[in-house]
């Protein structure tokens, strides 16, 4: 029992913080991880937006809000890691910019949903698809 | 005729009752990341839960003793209290996850943040346990949970490449490492074989006063209902594998796991799946909360159950009240319910042998069972599962640490 | 007719106590009270004051300390059911009569449950009968796990279970008491036999049986008249270890083939 509790405490603490990047390679791996998660979130949003006619508004709103919040968290976590060198600075800027673009897109879609609905779902889905492609 | 009706009803209830937040999350998550390559674990888990649920149901019918009573009787007070602590902790974590799941379903239906629903869900769950008869409670939510069959319909409507799905059965995607694969295998096994299911099942048997004559009905419920519930789990995984795997999207929320149904069946399907998820998680909220009460009461020998009025089982009802409040408080800390679910699955897997070893021992003890002791085949299978579960229990937490909980 | 023999740990301790008249659950057999020499069982003990010492360690001591702190009595004693009330020993222990209600049940009912609407009407709370002071009696739970030394002081093992024989003095002229007849001694610390000591027939599954049996190949039976002294540190025997009977003497025939 005590072991279990200790394990929980350990995992929760480990899950809550981001380890520092040791070198450029490690930083690069972290950037890839961030891109991958962002890609997954954007694809998920794209699927929902593409079929937004088939989905209830509260559902669509919840799914897109979750995706936007998660994107923000991912960006914040990666942005908090100190880049080890100048070369890593470029990686940082590139990654964060792409994630930021996706976040902006989702935010504007959410505004449309709250006003009544997505105006041009097909175009929005196409934009999200392009963003997802860039996040490969 | 009446009996046929009872059997059908029991089976339908078992199907709906089999699926809870753990099965929903684990199967969708695994389907999106690993396709159908972990389907074999669901099969292993379903056979295991059938095996041990049948044993505990038989023990309850023949000797009138529920599982946790026997855990202490056979393991003694010291090992029993360790077991109680672990089982209670796992059930409480699962209860929190179920309350979170039911609240998330309400958020998806209404757009109102799930945290606002948590106190209401917890209160209504407690009210149902306080007032509603055991049988009605089990049936209503079991049958409503059956609505989750929309996953199977949606899979058919999505028209997947069946050959591709079948191909995934034997080949896991290359991108994922072996530790992650095994980590999710452990989580899926934990989802199918959660210990609270046997506490609930056997205590329900005692509560409904099963006798030897009811054994055939109980067996039919287990042997038909649980495998069909397992098929439902596989349908959830297959839906995720069809929609998410090709575009490399990972399922991280309850809303995302319902998306394939919306894509396949539109608004009606989506409404049904939200209803089904709510019924399944709310039903499981009741089951896990009662299991917390059962395990503590049965360890200490207190009067428990819903057959007597609450004043006559005051300690049992106090435990119910306290656990529901604790679990709701845990979710209200804004911890991610899906994360709580994943942890609860892995800890369940780690605690499995503690519950199942005493069941296997008592099912072989003629003092309790008379002529109804296990047969050779059941024992061979039971021994195999004990070995398997011991390995899983040892591996569960190291795997979780090594993979950073599957990341 | 031979007197009935049972294993205290296997058949009595930790079983559920049920009221024979109504089927209501009363408590668990947390411990057994012993009197006399050879000792015989006079009562079933229950509640945290009986369970705590059996759990042992810090959790057990905490349990006892909490119960003593909350008890209104000067010298709190575990809750007891006199042995003559016992009516049946099966998968549960059935008792007759009307045992008083445990304090925790009364407290939770009066302070929490009865105050919530819909809890059912409350029966008039029974007056707690005044308890007469009694000297702290010996408990069977204290025998378990104790070391056993033979005549020369070499360790034979630890007590894993106690065999009771129903041939003691009459209790309230109703039934004979269970007397301590033999100790089952196992050469490991903290061993339980999980009921697998009762013989080779019908004790499946094989793997579990083999694992447990491996642990008690060297187990011995100690008759109570072979015990020289008993105390809190364990038992001292008046015979050498080689004279003790092996555990195989206990094997029962498979009940299904009887």
Q: Give the pLDDT band (50/70/90) at residue A7.
A: low
CA distance C168 to C166: 6
Number of separate domains in chain C: 2
Residues 6+ apart with CB under 8 A from A103: A68, A71, A72, A75
DSSP string, B89-115: HHHHHHHHHHHHHHHHHHHHHH-S-HH
Mean pLDDT of the region B295-308: 90
Q: Give percent above pLDDT 70 in chain B.
A: 100
Q: Is A48 on the interface with B (CB under 8 A)?
A: yes
Mean pLDDT of the region A28-44: 90
DSSP string, B225-274: IHHHHHHHHHHHHHHHHHHTGGGTPPP-SHHHHHHHHHHHHHHHHHHHHH
Would you call A15 and B405 a contact, using CB atoms and an 8 Å cutoff? yes
Smallest Cβ–Cβ distance between B108 and the set A11, A37, A59 belongs to A59
Would you call B360 and C56 a contact, using CB atoms and an 8 Å cutoff? no
Would you call B130 and C116 a contact, using CB atoms and an 8 Å cutoff? yes
* pLDDT for residue B102: 96
Q: Is the pLDDT of residue B333 over 70?
A: yes
Number of separate domains in chain B: 1
Residues 6+ apart with CB under 8 A from C130: none
Token pair in block for residue B77: 């007070």
Task: Give alpha helix (H) positions in B64-194.
Answer: 67-110, 114-131, 134-145, 150-158, 162-168, 178-192
Check if the beta carbon of residue C140 is closer than 8 Å to that of residue C124. no
Q: Residue B284 is part of a domain; what is its CATH number?
A: 1.20.1740.10
In a domain? residue C127: no
Q: What's the CA dihedral at C235, C237, C242, C246 to 10 degrees?
A: -50
Q: Collect all residues of chain B within an 8 Å Cβ-Cβ radius of residue C55.
A: 77-78, 81
Q: Of the candidates C183, C192, C161, C190, which has an alpha carbon nearest to the alpha carbon of residue C236?
A: C183
Beta-bridge mates of residue C220: C185, C246
Q: Collect all residues of chain A within an 8 Å Cβ-Cβ radius of residue B259.
A: 44, 47-48, 63
Mean pLDDT of the region B360-388: 89
Are residues C98 and C152 both part of a single domain? no
Lowest average pLDDT, out of A49-53, A88-92, B8-12, C48-52, goes to B8-12
Check if the beta carbon of residue B256 is closer than 8 Å to that of residue B279. no
For CA atoms C225, C231, C234, C240, give the dihedral sign.
Answer: negative
Buried b (16+ CB within 10 A) or exposed e, C228-258: eebeeebbbbeeebeebeebeebeeeeeeee
Q: What is the SS3 assignment for A19?
A: coil
* pLDDT for residue B220: 85
Pairing verdict, β C5-7 and C147-149: unpaired
Q: Collect all residues of chain C within an 8 Å Cβ-Cβ radius of residue B74.
A: 194-195
Would you call B311 and C113 a contact, using CB atoms and an 8 Å cutoff? yes
Q: What is the SS3 assignment for A105?
A: helix
* pLDDT for residue B209: 85
In a domain? residue C30: yes
Q: Considering only alpha carbons, which residue of chain C is nearest residue B62?
A: C91
Please write the tens of the pLDDT for every residue from C245-258: 877 666 665 544 43
Are residues C10 and C105 both part of a single domain? yes
Mean pLDDT of the region B299-327: 91
In a domain? residue B345: yes
The domain made up of A2-134 has a fold known as 1.20.120
What residues in chain C have per-residue pLDDT under 70? 1-2, 121-136, 188-192, 198-204, 215-216, 248-258
Token pair in block for residue B312: 């006559």
In a domain? residue C225: yes
pLDDT, averaged across chain B = 90
Pairing verdict, β C147-149 and C227-231: unpaired
Q: Collect all residues of chain B within an 8 Å Cβ-Cβ radius of residue A54.
A: 262-263, 266-267, 270
Q: Among C99, C115, C131, give the residue marking a domain's end.
A: C115
Check if the beta carbon of residue C5 is closer than 8 Å to that of residue C181. yes
3-state secondary structure chain C: CCCCEEEHHHHHCCCEEEECCCCCEEEECCEEEEECCCCEEEEEEECHHHHHHHHCHHHHHHHHHHHHHHCCCCCCCCEEEEHHHEEEECCCEEECCCCCCCHHHHHHHHHCHHHCCCCCCCCCCCCCCCCCCCCCCEEHHHCCCCEEECCCCCEEEEEEEEEEECCCCEECCCEECCEEEEEEEECCCCCCCCCHHHCCCCCCCHHHHHHHHHHCCCCEEEEHHHEEEEECCEEEECCCHHHCEEHHHHCCCCCCCC
Check if the beta carbon of residue A24 is closer than 8 Å to that of residue A84. yes
In a domain? residue B8: yes
Mean pLDDT of the region A7-28: 64
Q: Is the pLDDT of residue A10 over 60?
A: no
Mean pLDDT of the region B58-78: 89
Q: Is the pLDDT of residue B139 over 90?
A: no
* pLDDT for residue B158: 92
Q: What is the SS3 assignment for B160?
A: coil
Would you call A63 and B255 a contact, using CB atoms and an 8 Å cutoff? yes
Q: Give the pLDDT band (50/70/90) at residue A8.
A: low
Q: Give the pLDDT band (50/70/90) at residue B300.
A: very high
Q: Is B373 on the interface with C (CB under 8 A)?
A: yes
- In the DSSP assignment, the letter for residue B193 is T
Q: Would you give the distance in Å from CA C32 to the centre of its chain?
A: 5
Check if the beta carbon of residue A59 is closer than 8 Å to that of residue A68. no
CA distance B94 to B99: 9
Q: Residue C180 is part of a domain; what is its CATH number?
A: 2.30.30.240
Would you call B75 and C192 a contact, using CB atoms and an 8 Å cutoff? yes
Please write the tens of the pLDDT for every residue from C74-111: 778 888 888 888 888 888 899 887 777 787 888 888 88
Would you call C202 and B69 a contact, using CB atoms and an 8 Å cutoff? no
Q: Collect all residues of chain B within an 8 Å Cβ-Cβ radius of residue A46.
A: 247
ipTM score assigned to the predicted complex: 0.87
What is the span of the domain harbouring residue C182? 143-250
pLDDT, averaged across chain A = 83
Lowest average pLDDT, out of A4-18, A84-98, B317-331, B371-385, goes to A4-18
CA distance A16 to A32: 20
Answer whether the bond into residue B132 is a cis peptide, omega within 30°. Answer: no
Pairwise pLDDT comparison (B158 vs C189), residue with the higher score: B158
Q: Collect all residues of chain B within an 8 Å Cβ-Cβ radius of residue C92.
A: 64-65
Stretch 90-129 of chain C: residues touching chain B, C-beta under 8 Å: 91-92, 104-106, 108-109, 112-114, 116, 118-123
Q: Considering only alpha carbons, which residue of chain C is nearest residue B377?
A: C205
Q: Collect all residues of chain B within an 8 Å Cβ-Cβ radius of residue C114.
A: 311, 314
Smallest Cβ–Cβ distance between A47 and the set B82, B263, B267 belongs to B263
In a domain? residue B226: yes
Q: Give percent above pLDDT 90 in chain B.
A: 58
Pairwise pLDDT comparison (A66 vs B12), residue with the higher score: A66
Q: Is the pLDDT of residue B227 over 60?
A: yes
Chains with 3+ CB–CB pairs under 8 A to A are B
Q: Collect all residues of chain C within an 8 Å Cβ-Cβ radius of residue B357.
A: 208
Buried b (16+ CB within 10 A) or exposed e, A103-120: bebbeebbeebeeeebee
For CA atoms C198, C199, C202, C203, give the dihedral sign.
Answer: positive
Pairwise pLDDT comparison (B326 vs B208), residue with the higher score: B326
Are residues C179 and C111 both part of a single domain? no
What is the span of the domain harbouring residue B69? 2-402
- Interface test with chain B among C108, C116, C121, C201, by most B beta carbons within 10 Å: C108
Q: Considering only alpha carbons, which residue of chain A is nearest residue B398?
A: A7
* pLDDT for residue B406: 77
Smallest Cβ–Cβ distance between B361 and the set C26, C92, C195 belongs to C195
Answer whether the bond into residue C180 is a cis peptide, omega within 30°. Answer: no
Check if the beta carbon of residue B115 is closer than 8 Å to that of residue B334. yes
Q: Collect all residues of chain C within an 8 Å Cβ-Cβ radius of residue B311.
A: 109, 113-114, 119-123
Please write the tens of the pLDDT for every residue from A70-99: 999 998 988 888 888 888 888 888 889 989
pLDDT, averaged across chain C = 80
* pLDDT for residue B140: 84
CA distance A98 to A100: 5
Q: Give percent above pLDDT 90 in chain A.
A: 29
Q: Is the pLDDT of residue A16 over 50?
A: no
Please write the tens of the pLDDT for every residue from C56-77: 889 899 999 988 888 777 778 8
Are residues C89 and C16 both part of a single domain? yes
């Amino acid at each position: 029992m005590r072991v279990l509790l200790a394990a929980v405490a350990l995992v929760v603490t480990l899950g809550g913080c981001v380890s520092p990047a040791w070198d450029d390679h490690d930083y690069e791996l972290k950037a890839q991880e961030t891109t991958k998660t962002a890609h997954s979130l954007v694809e998920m949003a794209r699927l929902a937006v593409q079929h937004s006619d088939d989905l209830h508004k509260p559902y669509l709103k919840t799914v897109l809000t979750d995706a936007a919040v998660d994107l923000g968290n991912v960006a914040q976590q990666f942005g908090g890691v100190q880049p080890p060198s100048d070369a890593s600075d470029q990686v940082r800027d590139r990654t964060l910019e792409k994630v930021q673009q996706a976040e902006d897109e989702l935010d504007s879609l959410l505004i449309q949903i709250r006003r009544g609905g997505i105006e041009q779902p097909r175009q929005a889905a196409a934009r999200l698809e392009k963003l997802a492609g860039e996040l490969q | 005729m009446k009996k046929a009706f009872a059997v059908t009803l029991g089976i339908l209830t078992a199907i709906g009752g089999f699926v809870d937040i753990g099965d929903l999350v684990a199967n969708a998550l695994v389907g999106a990341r690993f396709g159908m390559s972990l389907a074999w674990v669901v099969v292993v888990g379903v056979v295991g839960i059938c095996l041990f649920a049948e044993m505990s149901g038989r023990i309850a019918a023949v000797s009138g003793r529920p599982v946790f009573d026997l855990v202490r009787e056979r393991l003694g007070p010291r090992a029993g209290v360790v077991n109680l602590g672990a089982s209670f902790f796992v059930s409480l974590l699962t209860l929190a996850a179920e309350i979170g799941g039911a609240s998330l379903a309400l958020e998806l239906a209404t757009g109102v943040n799930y945290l606002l629903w948590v106190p209401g869900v917890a209160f209504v769950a407690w009210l149902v346990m306080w007032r509603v008869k055991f049988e009605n409670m089990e049936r209503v939510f079991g049958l409503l949970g059956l609505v989750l069959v929309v996953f199977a319909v949606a899979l058919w409507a999505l028209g997947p490449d069946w050959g591709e799905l079948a191909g995934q059965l034997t080949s896991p995607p290359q991108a994922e490492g072996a530790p992650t694969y095994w980590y999710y295998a452990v989580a899926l096994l934990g989802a199918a074989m959660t210990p609270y299911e046997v506490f609930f099942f056997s205590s329900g048997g005692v509560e409904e006063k099963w006798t030897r004559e009811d054994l055939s009905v109980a067996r039919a419920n287990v042997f038909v209902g649980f495998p069909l519930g397992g098929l439902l789990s596989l349908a959830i995984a297959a839906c995720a594998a069809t929609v998410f795997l090709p575009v490399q999207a990972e399922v991280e929320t309850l809303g995302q796991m319902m998306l394939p149904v919306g894509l396949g069946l539109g608004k009606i399907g989506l409404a049904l799946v939200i209803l089904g998820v709510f019924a399944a998680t709310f039903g499981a909220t009741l089951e896990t909360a009662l299991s917390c009460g059962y395990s503590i009461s049965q360890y200490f020998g207190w009067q428990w159950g819903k057959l007597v009025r609450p004043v006559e089982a005051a300690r049992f009802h106090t435990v119910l009240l306290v656990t529901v409040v604790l679990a709701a408080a845990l979710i209200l800390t804004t911890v991610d319910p899906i994360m709580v679910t994943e942890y609860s699955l892995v800890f369940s897997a780690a605690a499995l042998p503690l519950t199942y070893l005493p069941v296997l021992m008592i099912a072989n003890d003629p003092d309790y069972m008379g002529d109804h002791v296990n047969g050779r085949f059941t024992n061979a299978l039971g021994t195999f599962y004990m070995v398997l579960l011991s390995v899983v229990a040892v591996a569960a937490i190291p795997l979780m640490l090594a993979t950073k909980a599957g990341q | 007719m031979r007197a009935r023999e049972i294993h205290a740990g296997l058949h009595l301790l930790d079983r559920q106590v049920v009221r024979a008249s109504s089927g209501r659950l009363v408590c668990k057999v947390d411990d057994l009270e012993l009197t006399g020499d050879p000792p015989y069982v006079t009562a079933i003990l229950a509640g945290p004051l009986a369970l705590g010492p059996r759990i042992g360690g810090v959790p057990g001591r905490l349990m006892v300390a909490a119960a003593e702190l909350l008890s209104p009595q000067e010298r709190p004693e575990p809750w007891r059911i006199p042995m003559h009330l016992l009516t049946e020993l099966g998968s549960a222990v059935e008792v007759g009569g009307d045992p008083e209600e445990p304090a925790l049940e009364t407290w939770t009912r009066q302070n929490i449950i009865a105050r919530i609407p819909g809890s059912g009407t409350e029966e008039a709370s029974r007056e707690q009968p005044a308890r007469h002071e009694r000297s702290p009696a010996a408990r069977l739970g204290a025998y378990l796990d104790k070391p056993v030394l033979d005549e020369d002081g070499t360790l034979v093992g630890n007590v894993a279970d106690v065999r009771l024989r129903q041939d003691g003095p009459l209790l309230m002229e109703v039934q004979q008491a269970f007397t301590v007849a033999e100790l089952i001694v196992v050469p490991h610390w903290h061993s339980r036999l999980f009921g697998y000591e009762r013989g080779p027939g019908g004790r499946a599954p094989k793997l579990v049986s083999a694992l447990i049996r491996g642990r008690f190949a060297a187990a011995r039976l100690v008759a109570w008249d072979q015990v020289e002294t008993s105390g809190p540190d364990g038992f001292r025997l008046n015979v050498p270890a080689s004279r003790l009977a092996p555990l195989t003497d206990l094997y029962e025939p498979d009940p299904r083939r009887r």
